[in-house]
Amino acid sequence: MSAPTLVSASPAPASAAVPFEVPDAAPTAAELLDFVRSVAADPERVAQLALDPLDRSWIRLEGPGGAEAWLLGWPPGTETGWHDHGGSYGAFVTAGGELTEESLAVPLPSEGWSSLELAEGLDRTRALPAGKGRAFGRNHVHQVANRSEERHAISVHAYYPPLPLIRRYLRDGRTLRLDVVEHPETW
């Protein structure tokens, strides 16, 4: 697989650096995936989420080993846009409806760039109906969408360490540009 080609060597904002240490008892990505699967398969927990007809809705959950976890509602046509998880790894599973994940089949560096030209053949699209999901690593860049025009989707997500930030990107063809860095206090 080809690595992305660096277009701009201009450094990312200083706020993009995320130093952290992972303790010995940190949950693995497989454990996070098991956790989100178990929550997604629990109709009583999923039913606790009140679905908003226009905006995404959420409930914060207690994740394993100090992980950050969320139950999310996705109205028809909503999406996240391209983003990463600030150096955290994680997992998510669709609990109801269907989500579509678009991702890049190469780990991107989390720091030190503001624009990349992506090689051909890196795009991956996965349909994730209820019960399906995936784990992902620290440098995973993706966007998730509910492409249904009439049905909500519900999903469960877990991240470790808890999200220190989210970097959002703009995508124009094969060019991916850092757009904004969001910190937890803005969510």
Residue carrying structure tokens 């150096």: 87
| Domain-embedded: residue 20 | no
| Domain-embedded: residue 21 | no
Q: Which two tokens stand for residue 96?
A: 């109801």
Number of structural domains in the chain: 1
| Domain-embedded: residue 141 | yes
Q: Which two tokens stand for residue 148?
A: 């249904």
Query: pLDDT band for position 182 (50/70/90)?
Result: very high
| Domain-embedded: residue 8 | no
| Domain-embedded: residue 19 | no
* Residue 90 near residue 83, CB atoms below 8 Å: no
Residue carrying structure tokens 């992305």: 4
Query: What is the spatial distance between Cα 8 and Cα 115, in angstroms, rounded to a whole number?
Result: 5
pLDDT tens for 141-155 read: 999 999 999 999 999
What integer is the mean pLDDT of 89-101?
98
Nearest Cα neighbor of 15 from 115, 90, 114, 145 is: 114
Angle at CA of residue 55, ends 49 and 57, nearest 5°: 25
In this structure, what CATH number is given to the domain that contains residue 151? 2.60.120.10
Nearest Cα neighbor of 52 from 30, 29, 28, 72 is: 72
Query: pLDDT band for position 187 (50/70/90)?
Result: confident
Sheet strands (E) in 75-152: 82-83, 89-96, 98-104, 115-117, 123-129, 133-136, 142-145
Phi and psi, residue 98, nearest 5°? -145, 135
| Domain-embedded: residue 10 | no
| Domain-embedded: residue 156 | yes
pLDDT tens for 38-79 read: 999 999 999 999 999 999 999 999 999 999 999 999 999 999
Query: What is the spatial distance between Cα 57 and Cα 178, in angstroms, rounded to a whole number?
Result: 26
pLDDT tens for 112-164 read: 889 999 999 999 999 999 999 999 999 999 999 999 999 999 999 999 999 99
Query: pLDDT band for position 16 (50/70/90)?
Result: very low
Domain interval for residue 165: 26-107+120-186
Query: What is the spatial distance between Cα 183 and Cα 180, in angstroms, rounded to a whole number?
Result: 10
